[in-house]
Amino acid sequence: MIEDGPGRVLELITTGSARTRSEIAHVTGLSRSTVGQRLDTLFAAQLIFESTENVPSRGRPSRGLELNPRAGVLISVDVGEERTRIAVLDLNLAILGDRVARLALGDGPEVLLDRITAILRELIGQIGLDQSAVAGFGLGLPAPVDYEAGRVQGWSIMSGWEGYDIRRHLRRSWPVPILIDNDVNLLTLAEHRRHFADQRHLFFVKAGTGIGSGMVIDGAVNRGAQGAAGDIGHAHIAGFGDPQCRCGNLGCLESLAGGWALARDLGEGHDARDVAERIRRGDSAAVTSLRKAGRIMGESVAYATSLLNPDVIVLGGLLATTGDDLLAGIRQVVYQRSLPLATRQLRIVVTKYKARAGIAGAGYLVRDHVLSPAALDARLLIGRSPFADAL
- Compare residues 245 and 262 and give the one whose CB is closer to Zn ion: 245
Q: Least CB distance from residue 241 to Zn ion, whole Å?
A: 14
Q: Does residue 157 interact with Zn ion by CB under 5 A?
A: no
Q: In the chain, which ranges are continuous DSSP H helix?
A: 6-15, 21-28, 32-44, 109-127, 166-171, 183-195, 253-257, 259-266, 272-280, 284-308, 318-321, 325-337, 340-343, 357-370, 373-381
- Compare residues 100 and 247 and give the one whose CB is closer to Zn ion: 247
Q: What residues form DSSP beta bridges with 199?
A: none
Among 247, 266, 308, 328, binds Zn ion (CB under 5 A): 247
Q: 365, 26 in Cβ contact below 8 A?
A: no
Q: Using CB under 5 A, which of the segments 99-107, 168-176, 248-256, 271-279 binds Zn ion?
A: 248-256
Per-residue b or e along 241-264, where b marks 16 or more CB atoms closer than 10 Å to that residue's CB:
eeeebbbeeebbbbbbbbbbbbbe
Q: Least CB distance from residue 260 to Zn ion, whole Å?
A: 11
Q: Does residue 300 interact with Zn ion by CB under 5 A?
A: no
Among 25, 252, 262, 390, binds Zn ion (CB under 5 A): 252
- Compare residues 212 and 329 and give the one whose CB is closer to Zn ion: 212
Q: 163, 153 in Cβ contact below 8 A?
A: yes
- Compare residues 89 and 237 and give the one whose CB is closer to Zn ion: 237
Q: Using CB under 5 A, which of the segments 8-16, 117-125, 136-144, 234-242 binds Zn ion?
A: 234-242
Q: Using CB under 5 A, which of the segments 81-89, 187-195, 249-257, 350-358 binds Zn ion?
A: 249-257
Q: Does residue 211 interact with Zn ion by CB under 5 A?
A: no
Q: Does residue 320 interact with Zn ion by CB under 5 A?
A: no
Q: Least CB distance from residue 244 to Zn ion, whole Å?
A: 9
Q: Does residue 237 interact with Zn ion by CB under 5 A?
A: no
- Compare residues 293 and 312 and give the one whose CB is closer to Zn ion: 293
Q: Least CB distance from residue 212 to Zn ion, whole Å?
A: 11
Q: Does residue 235 interact with Zn ion by CB under 5 A?
A: no
- Compare residues 217 and 247 and give the one whose CB is closer to Zn ion: 247
Q: Does residue 234 interact with Zn ion by CB under 5 A?
A: yes
Q: Using CB under 5 A, which of the segments 14-22, 122-130, 230-238, 264-272 binds Zn ion?
A: 230-238
Q: Using CB under 5 A, which of the segments 152-160, 193-201, 237-245, 315-323 binds Zn ion?
A: 237-245
Angular region, 372: left φ>0, alpha ψ -120 to 50, beta rest: beta
| Nearest CA-CA partner of 180 in 361, 316, 35, 342 | 361
Q: 371, 11 in Cβ contact below 8 A?
A: yes
The amino acid sitting at 197 is: A
Q: Using CB under 5 A, which of the segments 68-76, 243-251, 371-379, 383-391 binds Zn ion?
A: 243-251
- Compare residues 191 and 231 and give the one whose CB is closer to Zn ion: 231
Q: Using CB under 5 A, which of the segments 130-138, 184-192, 224-232, 246-254 binds Zn ion?
A: 246-254
Strands 84-90 and 48-55: unpaired
Q: Does residue 202 interact with Zn ion by CB under 5 A?
A: no
Among 211, 245, 262, 315, binds Zn ion (CB under 5 A): 245
Q: 48, 110 in Cβ contact below 8 A?
A: no
Q: Does residue 378 interact with Zn ion by CB under 5 A?
A: no
Q: 232, 212 in Cβ contact below 8 A?
A: yes
Query: Where are any strands of DSSP class E within 103-241?
Result: 134-141, 145-146, 151-152, 178-182, 202-207, 211-217, 220-221
Judged on CB neighbours under 10 Å (0-12, 13-18, 19+), 95 is middle
> What is the number of other CB atoms lying within 10 angstroms of the CB of residue 378?
15
Q: 298, 343 in Cβ contact below 8 A?
A: no
Q: Does residue 328 interact with Zn ion by CB under 5 A?
A: no
DSSP helix, strand, coil percent of the chain (3-state; round to 5): 45, 20, 35
Helices (H) and strands (E) in the chain, counts: 15, 14
Size of the site for Zn ion (CB under 5 A): 5
Q: Least CB distance from residue 265 to Zn ion, whole Å?
A: 16
Residues that bind Zn ion (CB under 5 A): 234, 245, 247, 249, 252
